[in-house]
């Protein structure tokens, strides 16, 4: 997993400036901090703690209204889960760590020099 993160960071570092210059646009970096709230669905992460999440995104504006982004997000939570084995149920402490690598297309609507509204979607 650590190797994949290093490869992702190096790819972003070397590829985004080249893509930005190829489309005559500036690349950008975004640090994303969030709050991870596991779902309470019976098949989800019920009984797990809410935690802080973090991500790093690199993007390139292809035009004033269109951008492409790639990044990495990290989520971590702890909790307990019930495991059934041999007809008995056991409560176990568990840790869940999630890495995601989203690739996103973004449509941008600039409202002023300081404010943009955007919507995007992609795969992760």
Domain boundaries in the chain?
2-123
- At 76, the pLDDT band (50, 70, 90 cuts) reads confident
Length of the chain in terms of residues written: 124
Share of the chain above pLDDT 70, in %: 73
Residue 107, pLDDT score:
94
What value does the mean pLDDT take over residues 90-104?
A: 84
User: Do 102 and 89 meet the contact criterion of CB atoms below 8 Å apart?
Assistant: no
What value does the mean pLDDT take over residues 86-104?
A: 83
Residue 8, pLDDT score:
63
- At 117, the pLDDT band (50, 70, 90 cuts) reads very high
Q: What's the mean pLDDT when you consider all of the chain? A: 79
Task: Report d(CA 5, CA 2) in Å as an integer.
Answer: 5
Beta bridge partners of 74: 54, 99
- Residue of 79, 91, 90 lying closest to 47 (CA atoms): 79
The residue that leads in pLDDT, 81 or 98, is 98
CA-based radius of gyration for the chain: 19
Secondary element (H or E) of residue 11: helix 2-22
Global confidence as pTM? 0.58
User: Do 59 and 106 meet the contact criterion of CB atoms below 8 Å apart?
Assistant: yes
């Amino acid at each position: 997993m650590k190797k994949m993160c290093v490869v992702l960071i190096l790819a972003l570092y070397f590829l985004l400036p080249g893509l930005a210059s190829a489309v005559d646009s500036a690349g950008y970096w975004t640090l994303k901090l969030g709050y991870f709230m596991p779902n309470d669905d019976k098949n989800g992460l019920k009984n797990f703690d809410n935690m802080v999440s973090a991500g790093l995104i690199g993007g390139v504006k292809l035009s004033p209204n269109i951008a492409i982004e790639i990044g990495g997000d990290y989520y971590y939570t702890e909790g307990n889960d019930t495991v059934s084995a041999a007809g008995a149920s056991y409560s176990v402490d568990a840790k869940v760590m999630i890495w995601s690598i989203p690739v996103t297309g973004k449509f941008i609507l600039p409202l002023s020099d300081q404010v943009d509204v955007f919507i995007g979607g992609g795969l992760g």
